[in-house]
Amino acid sequence: METDEQREEYDKLRRRVLWTMPYGLYVVGSTDHHAERNFMTLNWATQMSFEPKLLGIGVEKQSLTHRLITQGRAFSLCTVAREDRAIVRKFTKPVEVDLTAMTLNGFPFHDGTSGAPILDQAPGFLDCTVRQDVDAGNHTFFIGEIVDAGFQADEATPVLRMEDTRMNYGG
């Protein structure tokens, strides 16, 4: 029979192994298609299909972003330049929206084809409309069809990865 101490040690080991997995680090934009918009730091994203072009992101169910994607049925995924690594800490909580200045937490944005906000300083972006929601424990895996994509900086700009920061995300 496993003891509490053994379970705790295993849990610590499992988290350390998960933390070694390579992850990108992104800013995801969401909107309810009214006045509410948000940017959130996200690391669970993957290409799903070549035809149609599908992208999947995992979003915690308790987050504002989850509610906005569920209501608005759209999201953007913005890459972050490695030299801008500090920006991801600006989007760990719901943002301050200034629609007059078109800023979220002081960072300029524009609305994408789907209506989701796109970070102006993102080197690249993918703009998606939600095709499917998949229950994934305390997260939902949103599968979106890419309706627009582009570079806003040199295509060779090095992009941020989780290992470039002191952040980690793993259960």
In this structure, how many other beta carbons lie within 10 angstroms of the beta carbon of residue 16? 11
CATH number at residue 27: 2.30.110.10
124 in any annotated domain: yes
pLDDT category, 70, cuts 50, 70, 90? very high
Strands in 97-98's sheet, in edge-to-edge order, are 97-98, 103-104, 107-111, 117-119
On the question of pLDDT at 110 being above 80, the answer is yes
Per the structure, the count of domains in the chain is 1
| pTM of the model as a whole | 0.90
Q: Encoding tokens for residue 78? A: 């913005």
3-state SS, residue 109: strand
**28 contacts 44 by C-beta, under 8 angstroms:** no
* b/e burial code for range 89-111 (CB count within 10 A of at least 16 → b): ebbeebbebeeeeebbbebebeb
- Residue 40's beta-bridge partner residues? 28
170 in any annotated domain: no
169 in any annotated domain: no
In this structure, how many other beta carbons lie within 10 angstroms of the beta carbon of residue 83? 11
Residue (of 148, 149, 145, 116) closest to 54 by Cα position? 145
For 11-33, what is the mean pLDDT? Answer: 88
Burial of 47 (0-12, 13-18, 19+ CB in 10 A): exposed
Q: By residue range, what is the domain housing residue 28?
A: 4-164
145 in any annotated domain: yes
pLDDT tens digits for range 38-62: 999 999 999 999 999 999 999 999 9
pLDDT category, 20, cuts 50, 70, 90? confident
134 in any annotated domain: yes
In eight-state DSSP terms, residue 90 is G
Mean confidence (pLDDT) of the chain:
93
For 20-24, what is the mean pLDDT? Answer: 81
171 in any annotated domain: no
119 in any annotated domain: yes
Alpha-helix runs per DSSP H in 25-147: 64-72
132 or 35, higher pLDDT: 132
Q: Encoding tokens for residue 98? A: 């200034």
